[in-house]
Structure 1
Amino acid sequence: MSKLTKEQIDQFFIEQFESFEQQLNGEKSLPLHKTRKEAFDTYKQSGFPAPKDEEYKYTNIAKAFASHISSVETSDIELTKEDVQKHFISKLKAINLVFVNGELNTSLSDLKDLPGGLIIENINDAQTKYESDFASYFNKADMAGADNFFSLNTAFTNGGAFIKVEKSAIIEQPLACYFFSTSQKNDMISQPRNMIIAGENSQATVIENFITLGEHASFTNAVTEITLEQDAIFNYYKYQNESDKAIHVGATMVEQRGKSVFNAGSFSLRGMMLRNNLNIAIHKPHSETNMYGMYLLDGKSHVDNHSVVDHIAPDCESNELYKGVLDGKSKGVFNGKIFVRQAAQKTNAFQSNGNILLADTAEVDTKPQLEIWADDVKCSHGCTVGQLDADQLFYLKARGIDEKTAKSMLLKAFAADVITTVKVDALRELIEKNIEERI
């Protein structure tokens, strides 16, 4: 299936869906499968996103998929606890959830003795065990930024995680989600789908870590839906240090249904082509949203960060800061959109994207956007692309610091205001270590 056309890719997924349906047996009668079929019908209307779609103008997922995904089969590789634990974040005390090719592996995950107020279920079981929650929260991300990859993921929903933090529950330990793609024997496609509910007055932290095992190519199409209720505080981190043959499309769909605080951090260090969609809808006044991102690229890595913040309610604040350091022939893309609806008076929305190019062959496309229908707001956006400041470099060298160390100091200072936002010490130390090694 090498170097396929877009039509052949679409036909491939049609055949995959037909095969997937045949394996479901009695589950076809449950509401989830009706949602799957509706989503796949939506997907078929325009198919696999390609550069003719404006949102994928600078990131040709279709070409990468067609050129690198050739032989997809069911993996027969069994991972042991020792296999996965060596990829866990060092010194992190967490509730570890392990996903293998998109499905929650209960034997490798910490599902016993969960703290009070925390529910974790296989998403297939949750549709009947927690029917009311499922009906209220699953696949409700009807917002700007939801694209056809979202529909494709919904169609193949199978075996992800349902996570609920109940009313007034404070979960002290972070939930560390490790997503393994097993591409040791053949190319691998995985489509993890997770839904998270942060109940009224709850607090929790989730870390997503994506790992490719093996030398073959992998395609991950991940969706995480997060809903925050009244007075919830939720921290979300996404960490990507994947293989040089990893293609990743990830959508994090967030709805702040009640007055709440949402903090997000995205850190992309390695991968062939990574696309991160962060889409947030703010429905209630006095909510706060903070988004931070860092991409540190070399070789031929391509990372595309797309964000949408939709201010629907008044008296809310959003802050967005993404920074990139690019070397080699790497490419970065940033497109941040802020919508301020007419009813969202007294909105404060700030957005900034800064980039440093360490090589003439590195490239970045950046496009911050504001669309405002309200008149009583404070909004700003901006972007910068440049090299290390020559004056600052000269200042350090004039004081006896060698050029390599001086550049390292400047780059670490450039990244610091993003890295320091990470509230989990072990994760922050891992990111700092990787940045130190890369620099």
Structure 2
Amino acid sequence: MNPNSTAKETYLDAMGVAEKGLAKAPSWLRELRRDGASRFAEIGFPTPRDEAWKYTDVTPIVQTEFKPVAEDVNGIDPARLEGFWFENLPSHRLVFVNGHYSEKLSTPGAWPKGVTVMSLAEALRDKAHRLEPYLGHYVPEKIHGFAALNTALFTDGAYVHLGRGTRLAKPIHLLYVSAGAADPLLSQPRNLVVAEENSQAVLIENYVAVGEASYFTNALTEVVVGPHAVIEHYRLQEESAKAYHIGGLHAHLDRDGRFTAHGIDLGGRLVRNDLRSVLDAEGAECHLNGLYVIGGRQHVDNYTHIDHAKPRGTSREFYKGVLDGRSRAVFHGRVVVRPDAQHTDAQQVNNNLLLSRDAEADTKPQLEIYADDVKCSHGATVGQLDPDALFYLRSRAVDEAAARDLLTYAFARDVLSRLRLEPVRAQLERNLAAKLRVTALHQAKEVFQ
């Protein structure tokens, strides 16, 4: 039997079981679940025959029998999480273990008036009426099967609601920890962020692992940016080297709303990120920054879609990748400017650095412009280290290996310099330096400042 068909039937059976447990759920939630199940039954898993998945084969995910995780979070010692927090960064900390909220491990602190932050499971139980206008409304109806799978089977995640005019002084740090087990585990976090008019917050969505087990994270986040609201979102993916990670981030921007997303990929065996942003009112502004540093046989695929639906929108997209070993990276950046979106200003850049002859980068910047009064540009590069720059460092008594590492570090650090939170930036710079074998971080800074 076709493994794709077998896996599909397994998940459809799980959806049938899950639906029986929704008898007391609100009708709109039951309908949302059924729509996800119907969509998954219709299309199943994406394949390379799908244009948006042309270079990414998810067969390893399909052929592995991942098991949903029961809510059991008592086995992790809080001390094991200390290395995942950012030094000198006070934050509201919410911890999820294998996709389930852990009250024991979380330290959210006090919330200002007008701010609601809780686990999604708790919100659906106690405040379902507040989620109904938003949950599931911003994921495209014709999206791929993994998003449909999440919609049909998600169990927990984070719910963040910022009332009108509220501003959080400290970032919200959502730490998603995968803890290994004998069987390959499946977790499907679902996050909903609603920022009403003139509200502001910083959100850190952090995926890490305790141990090196094989598991599958299928995550989905919806962000609603109201008029004049500001949301800065950090997605930091440092999964196990044996992990599979499929992530979706879907943002909807209202008039003069501002959304900034930073996506950093350092871990995972096979990773796919879908980032879609709709600028649905005049003056909306969107900034997307991404960095992937991979080696061995890692595979990272970033698919971005910026939809300029209304006039005077601005978007900036800046992605960089460093590839070593036999790794492969895919970037497909699509910018659509609709007929009514006059005076759009959009720029898109993707640069890739290959450190090995066996590494491969496939990049496809794409503009679809249906308006005539716009300013749009895009560009992409795939190359190796500049021999002149190497010669410059060698002539200053820097050995060849160190020179290569320093130039690579400088190339990647260009993205990290755009991160506004200094403690996050500093820790990621240290992680990057370690990954690139740059042992003298101060030397790198002295050379390139």
Q: Is the 8 A contact 2:308 2:344 kept in 1?
A: yes
Measured in 1, the distance between the counterparts of 2:142 and 2:387 equals 39
Aligned to 1:224: 221
Mapped pair 1:413 → 2:397: no
Measured in 2, the distance between the counterparts of 1:85 and 1:34 equals 40
SS in 1 for 2:266: strand
Measured in 2, the distance between the counterparts of 1:406 and 1:394 equals 9
Query: Once the 2 structures are TM-superposed, how far is the Cα of residue 125 of structure 1 from its aligned partner?
Result: 3.8
**Of 113-122 and 218-227, the range deviating more from structure 2:** 113-122
Q: 2:204 aligns with which of 203, 207, 227?
A: 207
Q: Name the aligned partner's letter for residue 385 of structure 1.
A: V
Q: How many residue pairs are counted as aligned between the two chains? A: 435
Measured in 1, the distance between the counterparts of 2:142 and 2:399 equals 46
Q: Pairwise CA RMSD of aligned residues? A: 2.0
Q: Is the 8 A contact 1:201 1:230 kept in 2?
A: yes
Q: Is the 8 A contact 1:9 1:48 kept in 2?
A: no
Q: Is the 8 A contact 2:96 2:176 kept in 1?
A: yes
Aligned to 2:442: none
Measured in 2, the distance between the counterparts of 1:416 and 1:88 equals 21
Aligned to 1:385: 382
Mapped pair 1:251 → 2:272: no
1:69-218 paired onto structure 2 within 5 Å: 69=65, 74=70, 76=72, 78=74, 79-127=76-124, 129-143=126-140, 146-218=143-215
Q: Name the aligned partner's letter for residue 406 of structure 1.
A: A
Q: 1:431 aligns with which of 428, 431, 448?
A: 428
Query: Once the 2 structures are TM-superposed, how far is the Cα of residue 72 of structure 1 from its aligned partner?
Result: 6.0
**Of 142-151 and 196-205, the range deviating more from structure 2:** 142-151
Distance 1:220 1:283, change over 3 A: same
Query: Once the 2 structures are TM-superposed, how far is the Cα of residue 229 of structure 1 from its aligned partner?
Result: 0.4
Aligned to 1:394: 391
1:117-173, CA deviations, whole angstroms, 9 ceiling, x for partnerless residues? Answer: 320133244346445532221111154883222111111132222111111111011
Q: Is the 8 A contact 1:189 1:220 kept in 2?
A: yes
Percent of matched pairs sharing the same residue: 35
Aligned to 1:338: 335
Measured in 2, the distance between the counterparts of 1:269 and 1:338 equals 26
Mapped pair 1:327 → 2:340: no
Measured in 1, the distance between the counterparts of 2:414 and 2:180 equals 36
Measured in 2, the distance between the counterparts of 1:125 and 1:242 equals 26
Aligned to 1:238: 235
1:322-350, CA deviations, whole angstroms, 9 ceiling, x for partnerless residues? Answer: 00010011110000000000000010100
SS in 2 for 1:149: helix
Query: Once the 2 structures are TM-superposed, how far is the Cα of residue 71 of structure 1 from its aligned partner?
Result: 6.0
Distance 1:313 1:153, change over 3 A: same
Query: Once the 2 structures are TM-superposed, how far is the Cα of residue 82 of structure 1 from its aligned partner?
Result: 2.8
SS in 2 for 1:321: strand
SS in 1 for 2:104: coil
Aligned to 1:422: 419
Aligned to 2:4: 6
SS in 2 for 1:437: helix
Query: Once the 2 structures are TM-superposed, how far is the Cα of residue 35 of structure 1 from its aligned partner?
Result: 0.9
Q: Is the 8 A contact 1:167 1:201 kept in 2?
A: yes
Measured in 2, the distance between the counterparts of 1:144 and 1:265 equals 25
SS in 2 for 1:39: helix
Q: Name the aligned partner's letter for residue 65 of structure 1.
A: I
1:349-364 paired onto structure 2 within 5 Å: 349-364=346-361
SS in 1 for 2:133: helix
1:31-55, CA deviations, whole angstroms, 9 ceiling, x for partnerless residues? Answer: 2122101211111111122222221
TM-score calculated relative to the size of structure 1: 0.94
Aligned to 1:33: 30
Aligned to 1:65: 61
Query: Once the 2 structures are TM-superposed, how far is the Cα of residue 417 of structure 1 from its aligned partner?
Result: 2.6
Measured in 1, the distance between the counterparts of 2:68 and 2:28 equals 29
Distance 1:311 1:70, change over 3 A: closer
SS in 1 for 2:413: helix
Query: Once the 2 structures are TM-superposed, how far is the Cα of residue 14 of structure 1 from its aligned partner?
Result: 1.0
Q: Name the aligned partner's letter for residue 4 of structure 2.
A: K
Measured in 1, the distance between the counterparts of 2:387 and 2:82 equals 44
Measured in 2, the distance between the counterparts of 1:285 and 1:18 equals 43
Aligned to 2:445: none
Q: Name the aligned partner's letter for residue 345 of structure 2.
A: N
TM-score calculated relative to the size of structure 2: 0.92
Structure 1, gaps ≥5 residues long? none
SS in 2 for 1:416: helix
Q: Is the 8 A contact 2:228 2:257 kept in 1?
A: yes
Q: Name the aligned partner's letter for residue 374 of structure 2.
A: V
Query: Once the 2 structures are TM-superposed, how far is the Cα of residue 181 of structure 1 from its aligned partner?
Result: 2.0
Measured in 1, the distance between the counterparts of 2:92 and 2:172 equals 5
Q: Name the aligned partner's letter for residue 432 of structure 2.
A: I
SS in 2 for 1:116: coil
Measured in 2, the distance between the counterparts of 1:140 and 1:68 equals 31
Query: Once the 2 structures are TM-superposed, how far is the Cα of residue 183 of structure 1 from its aligned partner?
Result: 2.0
Distance 1:235 1:144, change over 3 A: farther
Distance 1:314 1:70, change over 3 A: closer
Measured in 2, the distance between the counterparts of 1:156 and 1:89 equals 32
Measured in 1, the distance between the counterparts of 2:209 and 2:352 equals 27
Query: Once the 2 structures are TM-superposed, how far is the Cα of residue 191 of structure 1 from its aligned partner?
Result: 0.6
Distance 1:370 1:131, change over 3 A: same
Q: 1:19 aligns with which of 17, 20, 31?
A: 17
Query: Once the 2 structures are TM-superposed, how far is the Cα of residue 257 of structure 1 from its aligned partner?
Result: 2.1
Query: Once the 2 structures are TM-superposed, how far is the Cα of residue 230 of structure 1 from its aligned partner?
Result: 0.7
